[in-house]
């Protein structure tokens, strides 16, 4: 079985081996499935395996989720990346591994109960997130914790740590006629002259749907009793933007490349510090900037 | 005692300034990103190889118009200790 998807601006053709099928129960799968394309950006073969994967902590880069029931690891070399996830209490999977080699990949899933006719979740968390973070990095883009709205063709991005008001800001814009591109995790693509934001499936418990918009302004938000908008420039702007991006510090080359992507975005899109009280006044003030 | 930088960060240019980016698996370490001024960049360049505070002071005196030596030494020690606290420099007895 084959499915085609487009998330974070990247088209992927998934192909299952054997009699396994992609779960049609997944709203995520349905929302991001797209028409078959002649050439997908990446081709991923999905294979069920019976032997759980093992993480070798002595090599590569290790990330460990805290109290979220899984451990993950990325092994990075010049020609391959191997992403492994160990689930501690998943009812569905014991382990999952993705081996990326150029534009091809093999996703091995080790279920808790093996069957030759398995329902497969192409967006298995966090393997999917880790994969898309690496793929977009290879394509000179990145993921950033943020909400993005489309206001009549203009994209405005609001980024901050959780609980600061990203989703609140998105809803305020929605009430003023804009559409929400995503309110948790967005992809920024720099391959074209303008920076394009693309919706991404970030976490299984957030709703997301495919959408893209040209980015006109980046706002580093904080809650405030009064509204204010101040330009942020220079290295300070670069670092403050960097700090809200998903960054896998595999080695110096990856760090340098990630910094270069952030610098490209900061050079093309104005960055502002934004304090706001949660009403529509802030929408009018941002529109008045004429970005 | 000598000091040497750890291999856990990069220094690069951003918008005309030098910045330090940690190479770390910890999200918390992203708070340690720094915009470096000329003198802090100079120190981080010197500590690529093991070096004592005395030798850093001498290098500064050769390169810059420096304040009184005790003040210079104090400023260097303060910066070195900050970098040790952030895990970017280690001591080497």
Q: Test A235 with B21 for CB contact under 8 angstroms.
A: no
Residue of B nearest to A236 (CA): B35
Radius of gyration of chain A (CA): 20
Nearest to A236 among B18, B24, B35 (CB): B35
Residue of B nearest to A64 (CA): B25
Alpha helices in chain A (DSSP H): 27-32, 127-138, 166-175, 234-242, 252-268, 281-287
What's the confidence (pLDDT) of residue A260? 96
Max mean pLDDT among A85-89, B28-32, B74-78 falls in: B74-78
Q: Quote the crossing angle between the two packed helices B38-46 and B69-85, to the nearest 10°.
A: 70
Mean pLDDT of A77-99: 88
pLDDT, one tens digit per residue, over B39-69 is: 999 999 999 999 999 999 999 999 988 888 8
Q: Test B30 with A242 for CB contact under 8 angstroms.
A: yes
Q: What angle do CA A262, A266, A268 make, to 5 degrees?
A: 120
Q: How many other C-beta atoms are found inside a 10 Å radius of the C-beta of residue B84?
A: 14
Q: Percent of chain A scored above 90 by pLDDT?
A: 45
What's the confidence (pLDDT) of residue A185? 84
pLDDT, one tens digit per residue, over A145-170 is: 999 999 999 999 999 877 788 889 99
How high is the ipTM of this complex?
0.89
pTM of the model as a whole: 0.89
pLDDT exceeds 70 at position A204: no
pLDDT, one tens digit per residue, over B66-87 is: 888 889 999 999 999 999 999 9
Residues A273 and A169: their CA atoms lie apart, in Å, by 14
Which residues of chain B are at the A interface, by a Cβ-Cβ cutoff of 8 Å?
Answer: 10, 12, 14-19, 21-25, 30-31, 33-35
Residue of A nearest to B9 (CA): A252
Establish if A49 touches chain B: CB-CB under 8 angstroms: no
pLDDT exceeds 70 at position A209: no
Residue A249 contacts residue B25 (beta carbons within 8 Å):
yes
User: To probe the interface with B, which of A64, A83, A239 has the most B CB atoms within 10 Å?
Assistant: A239
Nearest alpha carbon to residue B70 among B80, B61, B83, B82 = B61
Measured CA to CA in angstroms, residue A129 lies from A144, A241, A246, A248 at distances of 12, 20, 10, 12
What's the confidence (pLDDT) of residue A120? 79
Burial code (b: 16+ CB inside 10 Å, e: under 16) for A131-163 equals bbbbbbbebebbbbbbbbbbbeebbbbbbbeee
Q: Test A255 with B35 for CB contact under 8 angstroms.
A: no
> Which residues of chain A lie closer than 8 angstroms to B12, CB-CB?
256, 259
Measured CA to CA in angstroms, residue B80 lies from B33, B71, B85 at distances of 16, 14, 9
């Amino acid at each position: 079985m084959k499915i085609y998807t487009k998330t974070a601006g990247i088209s992927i053709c998934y192909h299952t081996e054997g009699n396994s099928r992609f779960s049609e129960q997944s709203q995520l799968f349905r929302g991001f499935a797209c028409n078959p394309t002649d050439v997908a950006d990446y081709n991923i073969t999905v294979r069920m395996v019976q032997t759980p994967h093992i993480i070798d902590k002595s090599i590569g880069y290790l990330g460990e989720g805290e109290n979220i029931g899984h451990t993950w690891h990325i092994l990075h070399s010049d020609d391959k990346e191997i992403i492994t996830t160990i689930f501690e209490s998943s009812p569905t999977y014991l382990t999952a591994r993705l081996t990326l080699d150029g534009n091809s990949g093999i996703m091995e899933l080790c279920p808790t109960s093996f069957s030759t006719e398995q329902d497969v979740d192409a967006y298995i968390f966090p393997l999917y997130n880790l994969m898309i973070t690496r793929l977009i990095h290879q394509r000179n883009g990145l993921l950033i914790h943020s909400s993005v709205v489309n206001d009549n063709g203009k994209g405005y991005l609001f980024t901050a740590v959780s609980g600061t008001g990203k989703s609140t800001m998105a809803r305020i814009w929605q009430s003023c006629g804009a559409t929400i591109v995503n309110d948790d995790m967005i992809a920024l693509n720099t391959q074209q002259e303008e920076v394009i934001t693309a919706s991404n499936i970030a976490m299984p418990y957030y709703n997301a749907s495919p959408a893209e918009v040209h980015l006109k302004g980046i706002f580093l938000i904080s809650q405030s009793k009064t509204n204010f908008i101040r330009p942020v420039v220079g290295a300070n702007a670069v670092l403050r933007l960097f700090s809200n991006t998903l960054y896998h510090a595999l080695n110096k080359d990856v760090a340098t490349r990630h910094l270069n992507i952030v610098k490209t975005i900061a050079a093309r899109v104005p960055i502002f510090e934004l304090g706001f009280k949660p009403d529509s006044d802030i929408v009018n003030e941002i529109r008045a900037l004429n970005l | 005692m000598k000091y040497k930088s750890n291999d856990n960060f990069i220094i690069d240019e951003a918008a005309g300034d030098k910045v330090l980016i940690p190479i770390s698996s910890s999200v918390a370490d992203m708070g340690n990103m720094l915009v470096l001024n000329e003198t802090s960049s100079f120190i981080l360049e010197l500590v690529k190889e093991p070096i004592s505070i005395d030798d850093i002071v001498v290098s500064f005196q050769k390169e810059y118009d420096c304040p009184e030596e005790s003040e210079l030494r104090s400023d260097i020690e303060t910066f070195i200790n900050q970098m040790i606290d952030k895990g970017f420099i280690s001591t080497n007895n």
